[in-house]
């Protein structure tokens, strides 16, 4: 039967092993067989056989929890208290360097990315290891109680110093308490604060995610073109077909545009074929249509319009009220345009 999980290897783990064995033997009510408080009875005594049986039981527990190298040196022993004393003399090497190392680890330990529980567990492990190396007073006198109270206060300060700066406010509140709480009470208070912050973070996360998604959805709209005349996106007012006319190939090609200077015109060009001229003036407003593969609407000046009429053999009937050549469309479409 193995009382502890770890085997004794040597100086490196004797402190932990001996502490675990003492706890296990005390639970079995057999601690008196290793501390020497129950010596071997005289031969022929009424309790002699019972003592030998219990001594052999404790000795077997010790042998089952040591390494093979150590086992060879105690297998021929017959007294459990003698074996325990020999092991303590060989491997219990408490020196100043180990105590210094533990103190350094305690002072350097900080929370960092660990949770409050993880940080406190690491710190408590170092405290317990230090307590196993140094004998602390265990009596009930006033001096012992004052020392233990001082030790608890030091542990509280060490725990609070290692916390992250985000807990600065709750740390100040704990230090202003009178009397100061124990380190266990401080751990409980800060753990509740950590749980409260986690709950607030979870509740506010959906709102922030919704805002981020909405912001990303609205962001592309800022870069879209917008026409103030027809309230449509995708083009500007300068290239709006309702103002400059529809290009060739459009199903509404030939209809009268609704420019402010052309809205009341009733004269139309019946032919829907494009008029090609060497002096064709291309308006910058039609660049979007050209880019889409649609030819721009030709625009002629007054002199060009008169010259074209002469070449066609017609009469110059141009007047100041005559619209440009690209303003064409039947009169009955005026009120039935499909916008």
Instruction: Tell me the angle at which helices 48-63 and 80-91 cross, rounded to the nearest 10 degrees.
Output: 30
3-state secondary structure 190-236: HHHHHHHHHHHHHHHHHHHHHHHHHHHHHHHHHCCCECCCCCCECCC
Whether residue 189 is found in the same domain as residue 281: no
State the average pLDDT over residues 288-300: 50
Whether residue 87 is found in the same domain as residue 100: no
Q: How many CB atoms lie within 10 A of CB 251?
A: 8
Who has greater pLDDT, 245 or 21? 21
pLDDT at residue 301, as a whole number:
73
**Residue burial 47-56, b: 16+ Cβ < 10 Å; e: rest:** eeeeeeebbe
Within a domain: 292: yes
Within a domain: 219: no
Task: Judge contact between 132 and 184, C-beta under 8 A.
Answer: no
Within a domain: 209: no
Within a domain: 217: no
Question: What pTM was estimated for this model as a whole?
Answer: 0.46
236 backbone φψ class: left, alpha, beta (φ>0; ψ -120 to 50): beta
Domain boundary among 158, 183, 198: 198
Whether residue 102 is found in the same domain as residue 181: yes
Percent of the chain with pLDDT over 90: 25
Closest by Cα among 135, 125, 121, 132 to 18: 132
Residues of the domain holding 61? 11-91
Taken as a whole, the chain contains a residue count of 339
Whether residue 314 is found in the same domain as residue 239: yes
- Helices H, strands E: what count in the chain? 12, 0
Whether residue 256 is found in the same domain as residue 277: yes
Whether residue 75 is found in the same domain as residue 134: no
Task: Judge contact between 123 and 162, C-beta under 8 A.
Answer: yes
State the average pLDDT over residues 58-64: 92
Whether residue 192 is found in the same domain as residue 111: yes
Q: Is the pLDDT of residue 248 over 70?
A: yes
Q: Is the pLDDT of residue 219 over 60?
A: no
CA distance 160 to 183: 9
Whether residue 229 is found in the same domain as residue 123: no
Q: Is the pLDDT of residue 186 over 90?
A: yes
Whether residue 234 is found in the same domain as residue 177: no
Residue 208, phi then psi, degrees to nearest 5: -65, -40
Whether residue 76 is found in the same domain as residue 151: no
Whether residue 162 is found in the same domain as residue 75: no
- The 10s digit of each residue's pLDDT in 159-181 is 999 999 999 999 999 999 989 99
Q: Is the pLDDT of residue 156 over 90?
A: yes
Whether residue 228 is found in the same domain as residue 173: no
């Amino acid at each position: 039967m193995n009382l502890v999980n770890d085997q004794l290897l040597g100086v490196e783990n004797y402190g932990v092993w001996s502490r675990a064995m003492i706890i296990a033997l005390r639970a079995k009510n057999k601690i008196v067989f290793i501390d020497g408080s129950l010596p071997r009875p005289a031969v022929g005594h009424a309790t002699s056989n019972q003592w030998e049986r219990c001594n052999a039981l404790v000795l077997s527990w010790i042998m089952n929890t040591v390494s093979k190298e150590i086992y060879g040196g105690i297998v021929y022993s017959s007294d459990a208290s003698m074996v325990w004393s020999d092991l303590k003399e060989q491997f219990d090497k408490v020196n100043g360097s180990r105590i210094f190392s533990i103190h350094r680890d305690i002072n350097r330990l900080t929370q960092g990315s660990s949770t409050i529980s993880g940080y406190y567990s690491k710190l408590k492990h170092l405290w317990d290891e230090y307590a196993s190396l140094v004998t602390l007073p265990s009596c009930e006198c006033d001096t012992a109680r004052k020392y233990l109270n001082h030790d608890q206060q030091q542990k509280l300060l060490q725990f609070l110093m290692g916390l992250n700066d985000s807990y600065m406010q709750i740390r100040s509140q704990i230090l202003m308490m009178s009397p100061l709480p124990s380190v266990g009470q401080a751990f409980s208070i800060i753990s509740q604060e950590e749980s409260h912050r986690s709950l607030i973070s979870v509740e506010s996360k959906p709102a922030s995610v919704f805002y981020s998604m909405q912001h990303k959805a609205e962001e592309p709209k800022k870069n879209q073109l917008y026409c103030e005349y027809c309230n449509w996106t995708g083009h500007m007012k300068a290239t709006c077909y309702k103002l400059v006319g529809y290009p060739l190939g459009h199903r509404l090609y030939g209809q009268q545009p609704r420019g402010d200077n052309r809205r009341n015109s009733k004269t139309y060009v019946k032919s829907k074929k494009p008029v090609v001229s060497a002096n064709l003036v291309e308006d910058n407003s039609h660049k979007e249509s050209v880019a889409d593969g649609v030819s721009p609407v030709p625009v002629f000046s007054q002199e060009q319009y008169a010259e074209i009429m002469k070449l066609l053999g017609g009469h110059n009937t141009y007047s100041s009220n005559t619209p440009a050549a690209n303003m064409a469309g039947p009169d009955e479409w005026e009120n039935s345009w499909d916008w």
